[in-house]
Amino acid sequence: MTAVTRLDYLSIFPDYFQVLHLSLLGKAAEHGLVETHFWDLRRWTHDRHRTVDDTPCGGGAGMVMKPEPWGEAFDELLGTEPDPEIHVVVPTPSGYPFRQRDAEQLSTARRILFCCGRYEGIDHRVLEYLRTRWTLHELSLGDYVLNGGEVAALAITEAVVRLIPGVIGNPESLTEESYSPGQEGLLEYPNYTRPVSWRGLEVPEVLMSGHHGRIAQWRHDQSVEITGSRRPDLL
């Protein structure tokens, strides 16, 4: 029996996370493998307008998220004691690239808090505060800018939760996909199913040969070719 993984989401748009009740993640929650909590950052504001942002010190365009609501949210959700077993994920376009190995590391965590910023980002002292108390992961999904961290937090969640033991019915399906540890860093080969002939397009003959050695070789060659043309940086 695996221990439950607790996932908390802190955002000014907690409704974004409703989709987590669907599909695989919803099932993982139903089966008691994960427990999710969604928090509105404005809960920790005290002014009439429930303000979470302010103009940037030093000038410039856009708004920056104020530190105080974040600090009070951390006090309530995590306490003030340092604990490296608590992982805090801050999605940001200036983060470290999020990779499968990060998903693997996070899938062994008992507790993860996702902090989703909007506007031009979060006051930098919030990140310093997080780094000195808990295990902080500033992660970027890729070289493009989203409006906020919510969609990135959802993507990271899906990559992490599917690796938690018991979430995917057939764990073998995890071992042959792109970026999985057994794949030598190659992208996955193309997959086919029946019918063998469809709209004039055929399943490659070798896959119907029943010859396991030749099939494995063909798949490996395909992986190398696809990786070379799409992601030469991985070779």
Structure tokens at 234: 């991985």
Distance of alpha carbon 215 from alpha carbon 217, whole angstroms: 5
Residue 226 contacts residue 191 (beta carbons within 8 Å)? no
Structure tokens at 55: 């103009």
Residue 28 contacts residue 161 (beta carbons within 8 Å)? yes
C-beta of 146: minimal distance to ligand ADE in Å? 4
Task: State which residue, 82 or 142, has the beta carbon closest to ligand ADE.
Answer: 142
Q: Which of 99, 85, 117 is nearest to 160 (CA)?
A: 99
DSSP string for 12-43: S-GGGGGGGGSHHHHHHHHTTSEEEEEEEGGG
Task: State which residue, 7 or 33, has the beta carbon closest to ligand ADE.
Answer: 7
Strands 135-140 and 201-202: unpaired
C-beta of 71: minimal distance to ligand ADE in Å? 21
Q: Which of 77, 47, 69 is nearest to 122 (CA)?
A: 69
Task: State which residue, 9 or 189, has the beta carbon closest to ligand ADE.
Answer: 9
Task: State which residue, 144 or 197, has the beta carbon closest to ligand ADE.
Answer: 144
- Which positions touch ligand ADE (CB under 6 A)? 91-93, 140-142, 144-146, 149, 152
C-beta of 112: minimal distance to ligand ADE in Å? 15
C-beta of 181: minimal distance to ligand ADE in Å? 24
Distance of alpha carbon 10 from alpha carbon 136, whole angstroms: 15
Q: Tell me which amino acid residue 1 is.
A: M
Task: State which residue, 77 or 151, has the beta carbon closest to ligand ADE.
Answer: 151
C-beta of 204: minimal distance to ligand ADE in Å? 36
Residues 6+ apart with CB under 8 A from 234: 185, 186, 187, 227
Task: State which residue, 142 or 171, has the beta carbon closest to ligand ADE.
Answer: 142
Task: State which residue, 14 or 223, has the beta carbon closest to ligand ADE.
Answer: 14
C-beta of 139: minimal distance to ligand ADE in Å? 6
Residue 39 contacts residue 71 (beta carbons within 8 Å)? no
C-beta of 140: minimal distance to ligand ADE in Å? 4
